[in-house]
Structure 1
Amino acid sequence: MSTHYTRGSFQLMKSMNRSIILNMIREHGPISRADIAKQSRLTPPTVSNIVKELIQTQFVIETTQGQSKGGRKPTLLEINADHFYIIGVDVGTFHMNFVVTNLYGELKDVAKKDIPSYPSKEDILDTMKSGIREFFTSGKCDPEKFLGIGIGMHGIVDPIEGVSRFAPSFQLYDIPIKAELENEFDMIVKVENDAKAMTLGEYWFGNGNDADNMVGVNVGNGIGAGMMIKGQLFHGENNIAGEIGHITIDLSGPKCTCGNYGCLQTLAAGPAIAERARKELKTGKPSMIRDLVDHDFEKVDGKLVYEAACEGDEFSIELLNQTGRFLGIGLTNLIHTLNPKRIIIGGGVSKAGDFLMDGIKETIHSRGLTSKAKETHIVLSKLEEHASAIGACVLILEEFFSR
């Protein structure tokens, strides 16, 4: 065996062990060196050496003494959570959400920027750069403490190259996000699809923490899914795994931006809800929405439908229920394909909560193949509007912690 190979494996071993120990402290801290050795089956000297290095790099700190089992009290270790920060960006259709989190995914700062109409690649990159730059100058977080930048981008993303291959809302191809931002800010940048980022965020810090096989579904202006299989995001052969917004639900349904007819997102995404409301109101259906928009139906959007439903408007409640039933069909297809332990629903439309969930659960219950399929656990996102941006931060955390 060549020395080059041995040295390479030794480096890898060292960093794997480092990751294992770091993650153990993250998940089980405060924890003693002895307990780390016992649980990880690494030798005490190995643990000591790595812990020493982690304390030097300030990822880990020694904390209050634990309970003694006779003899000296052990010193416990925990993550130095606020010593480092990560920037996460969620690129939607009309806005970008920016967050700063610590090593526990806790929010330290948030911001929002509008995306120009019909943006160019430069517009997208400039909006990102200016939002990120503001965190460096706001004075809330020490710029020296930033570890990296994660980006959750709608559409098809190449996570290896860090390129947005196709952003359907902007009709833009091949935006070199990673190269541009690494060049601008001189720190590690990772790029992922927004629904996959949301799923990752929920898996680490949200409602997916105990589910290695799960699906996160982002329902906003479009519909996308992140599929977690054995604790790993599944990308498929060309990174299009999870584009469930383009499952055909109705062969003769409305035309989708992708060119096909009757895609799930033409029936259940935000714009589809508003479109269906406008269409039915024009046929004379009674609803309080008429007065809310003063009979100017172009003002109707999904948010308004939800607000009317909260006021008890039958028309709006039924519309959101119907949206849930359409989503339920798409999710039943997912259940029969992947059989996840849990499905987590996020994105703007998920704010409709029970109005949506009733329709989803009713459909899955009537269409699921077996009693277990019918009972698939469906929950709303715990991280809510920041799920994709926090998930984008996890892209960077994954570089330091292994799960």
Structure 2
Amino acid sequence: MQRGTFQFMKSLNRSIILNRIRLEGPISRAQIAKDTKLTPPTVSSIVKELIDSGLIKESIQGESQGGRKPTMLIINEKGFYVIGLDAGPKDIKIILSDLNGGVHHFSKKALLLPVTADELLKMMKSEIQGLLDQYKEEEDKIIGIGVAMHGVVDVDRGISLYAPNLHLRNIPIKEQLETTFNLPVKVENDAKAIALGEVWFGSGSGASSVVAVNVGSGIGAGIVINGQLFHGEHFIAGEIGHMTIDIGGKRCSCGNYGCLQTLAAGPAIAERAKKELAIGKESRLTELSGGNLERITGRLVHKAALEGDQLSRDILHSAGIYLGIGLTNLIHLLNPERIIIGGGVANAGEILLDGVKETIARMALTERAKQTDIRLSSLGNKATAIGAVSLLLSELFSI
């Protein structure tokens, strides 16, 4: 599939009709014309082009309105595919998705750290090429590549400006991948990609304003308003992990002190557990870590908590309280309809969520704000890669 095919799909009237079929299908040609105010001949002509291209297909016949039964139209979800890449900071995950977000391939490969920008790009290309080799028969149906990258991303140029966990700057991801694979490439911050993916395929569906918070080795957020990502003037909107919560707190990787992610991200949870064990607190973590404090991770704390370990549950609850403070600030600033929490730390589920909700209920300004809809991600460990896919789909179907 060449870049021109994507552009073919992107004309205004095609996008209007595509979006109507995506949102309302099965739908008739006559109903599309009525809903969009396009003339019936225009609708028929574009529908024929879209059927010929394989992007939509005819399905069942609809109810008669007095004449012949109309033939209904739906998106041909397996007519085209998108590659989604979740790049780092510990591994590269890659998926092949259809137009409905159905995952047909998923794999991941650990990064060998430390890594240079050239090594990272080489690994990305290798993973994409490996997928293309595996799906040679579908290669002509692949319409683009989405890449979700942690840190600050220049979306317009597709450049990773700063990936703090990898200590890398100015990685020309879009240029390199488009040159290699001759496909359109969209690059976005991982938390923002997750937010878009949640709106398209997950817990954000149907909400007019959504903030998705990715809580893992760091904390970031994506903001979607009326279906559109909000980036801010310098692409840093949503960097809530660097919101100062405790000015006298620990120094963060960004250089500031007391950032939210020094209190509620995975490494902070692990560090708190190590300190508690070092002063003699009893915990199942001692057994799970084999008595080696350096083996304790946020994931291990979560495991111990699920097994009923009280110290681990208390630590996760405390992280939830700090996260709740950050989210209360977010509610007072943006007042979103829904907040979705995802990422590795979110696997702690209700243990974490209880602390979050308890804090918001105590601190938010109004009764309705106190009851802001807070949900866990429904996309699991594929959330970022599915978000990367949605970058292409949101452009394809946008009006």
Q: 1:365, 1:217 → 2: CA distance?
A: 18
- Residue matched to 1:194: 190
**Is the 8 Å Cα contact of residues 109 and 140 (structure 1) preserved in structure 2?**
no
Match of 1:117 among 108, 113, 119: 113
SS of corresponding position for 1:160: coil
For structure 1, the 5+ residue unaligned runs are: 1-10
Q: 2:13, 2:182 → 1: CA distance?
A: 27
- Residue matched to 1:6: none
- Residue matched to 1:309: 305
State the 1:141 CA deviation. 6.0
Amino acid paired to 1:249: I
- Residue matched to 1:85: 81
Q: 2:113, 2:96 → 1: CA distance?
A: 26
- Residue matched to 1:226: 222
**Is the 8 Å Cα contact of residues 227 and 233 (structure 1) preserved in structure 2?**
yes
Asked if 1:102 is matched to 2:98, the reply is yes
Question: What are the superposed Cα offsets for residues 173-219 of structure 1, whole Å, 9 maximum, x if unpaired?
Answer: 10000000001101000000000000000011111111121101000
State the 1:401 CA deviation. 0.6
- Residue matched to 1:236: 232
Asked if 1:398 is matched to 2:394, the reply is yes
Q: 1:399, 1:316 → 2: CA distance?
A: 43
State the 1:294 CA deviation. 2.0
- Residue matched to 1:363: 359
State the 1:66 CA deviation. 2.0
Question: What are the superposed Cα offsets for residues 376-397 of structure 1, whole Å, 9 maximum, x if unpaired?
Answer: 0000011121111111111111
Tell me which stretches of 4 or more aligned residues in structure 1 moved more than 6 Å.
Answer: none
Asked if 1:352 is matched to 2:365, the reply is no
Match of 1:385 among 377, 381, 387: 381
State the 1:83 CA deviation. 1.3
State the 1:113 CA deviation. 1.1
Q: 2:71, 2:11 → 1: CA distance?
A: 24
**Is the 8 Å Cα contact of residues 18 and 50 (structure 1) preserved in structure 2?**
yes
- Residue matched to 1:153: 149
Asked if 1:57 is matched to 2:53, the reply is yes
Question: What are the superposed Cα offsets for residues 236-257 of structure 1, whole Å, 9 maximum, x if unpaired?
Answer: 1110111100001111111111
Q: 1:140, 1:276 → 2: CA distance?
A: 49
Asked if 1:263 is matched to 2:278, the reply is no
**Is the 8 Å Cα contact of residues 271 and 301 (structure 1) preserved in structure 2?**
yes
State the 1:64 CA deviation. 2.5
SS of corresponding position for 1:187: coil
Asked if 1:22 is matched to 2:18, the reply is yes
Q: 1:291, 1:111 → 2: CA distance?
A: 32
Match of 1:291 among 287, 291, 313: 287
Q: 2:290, 2:71 → 1: CA distance?
A: 67
SS of corresponding position for 2:11: helix
Q: 2:100, 2:130 → 1: CA distance?
A: 22
Aligned-pair identity (%): 56
SS of corresponding position for 1:137: helix
**Is the 8 Å Cα contact of residues 63 and 76 (structure 1) preserved in structure 2?**
yes
Q: When the two structures are superposed, what TM-score results if normalisation uses the length of structure 1?
A: 0.95
Aligned residues between the structures? 392
SS of corresponding position for 1:236: coil
Amino acid paired to 1:277: A
Change (3 A) 1:230 1:70: closer
